[in-house]
Structure 1
């Protein structure tokens, strides 16, 4: 795992865009997209590069991490709608190539199995973007999720519902259930990229990066991955015991070695 401490969210966005741009220039790119506040600056930078530098998403397949269960079709806070609004409608990706779990499916376990199979059929995800919750969740894998879990229905904790209430009129409008890629599914991606900003995420970041590999902190699964990069600002890095080492390693990183 590589931890990169940045001066600002904008710097994080540039680094993440660099990682995605390298994949997008390769053959048949498959990207994993996350919603929430943390990825927004990266998406804005990717949109800018598409408009100003000609970065193309043509021929790209995208998979979302998760989706709420039971929201009406077209609800503005469904993650399918959010990712269109925040990224895909602003670039040249074919909407038919942007996939999300169907939270309105009649048979939710079958829908989860279908979604996992679709990721496999696409050849797997080249780079998966992740945020992290204040309790250490990634996707909607709440604490005590199985480290080998696959895409499945999950019940949200009250903390997660409270955290997401800002996107709805009230916490009562936040669904209690979701479909989410499991930690095992997420781990099949070739490169995991996690982003976090602000002091509210500092404790979770420290647990994920330097704590034990444990279902108590689902994001700690990144420690087990062969290619994981964590981009944080100074505030989100404030609880890291080895922050000086991460800065030292980055300062002396060979020029040929990218993220």
Structure 2
């Protein structure tokens, strides 16, 4: 475990962008696991700028997104397919045939989940997985009490998650209550993981992730078992950690 504590969101985004860029420079055909939401937006902007400057190339990159809302069409402006195109893919030279996002409109969801896992394995697994974290400690859409051995699956969203995501919708009734998500086991099979968190509303989750017990009640706590995970967090998200006692982990 490594912990990078920064002053603010901008520094967090730049650090994350630099790590992803280093991955692509060392392995141009990397398989990236990507996240959505407000947290990684700054990182995507950093990567777009590095691409425009000619520092990195996405032509050989393959991506797998963590999740997608169930029963939300890809042209809906709140779908994660739409989000990824608007905030990242439309601005870089990625081959869209190498982009993988769960199909929330699939008629056979179980088959969709199985096929998603097969595609990840066929591509050699995920080299670098980007994660955010929910206020309740979820990673992907793996809500509290989801089994650690779960692979890609359908999940029912917690009330807290629905409430948090309602800021993106006109009405809370419009927020999907289900999603397709990579499972904890799928995430943990990634070769490297970086988790981004900013703001004091994430402080409890970060404490649970780094200093708490490893328990399905706090899904992010399972990252303590991963051999190569880096937390990039701002001071507000780190406010409940005793960083002095954790100096051996801090960069």
When normalised by structure 2's length, the TM-score is 0.96
State the shift of 1:249 in Å.
5.0
C-alpha contact (below 8 Å) 1:194/1:230 kept by paired residues: yes
Structure 1, unpaired ranges of 5+: 252-259
Cα RMSD, aligned residues only: 1.2
State the shift of 1:234 in Å.
0.3
Task: Name the CA distance, whole Å, in 2 between partners of 1:82 and 1:27.
Answer: 24
Instruction: Detail structure 1 runs of 4+ shifted over 2 Å in the superposition.
Output: 245-251
C-alpha contact (below 8 Å) 1:5/1:247 kept by paired residues: no
C-alpha contact (below 8 Å) 2:28/2:57 kept by paired residues: no
Task: Name the CA distance, whole Å, in 2 between partners of 1:38 and 1:246.
Answer: 24
C-alpha contact (below 8 Å) 1:161/1:174 kept by paired residues: yes
Task: Name the CA distance, whole Å, in 1 between partners of 2:247 and 2:238.
Answer: 11
C-alpha contact (below 8 Å) 1:164/1:174 kept by paired residues: yes
Structure 2, unpaired ranges of 5+: none
When normalised by structure 1's length, the TM-score is 0.93
- Tell me whether 1:10 sits opposite 2:3 in the alignment: no
CA offsets, 1:160-188, max 9 Å, x none? 00100111111100111100000000011
State the shift of 1:60 in Å.
0.3
CA offsets, 1:169-217, max 9 Å, x none? 1110011110000000001110010000000000111011110110000
Q: Where does 1:81-120 land on structure 2 (aligned, <5 Å)? A: 81-120=82-121
Task: Name the CA distance, whole Å, in 2 between partners of 1:89 and 1:56.
Answer: 14
State the SS of the aligned residue for 2:244.
helix
- Match in the other structure for 1:33: 34
- Match in the other structure for 1:227: 228
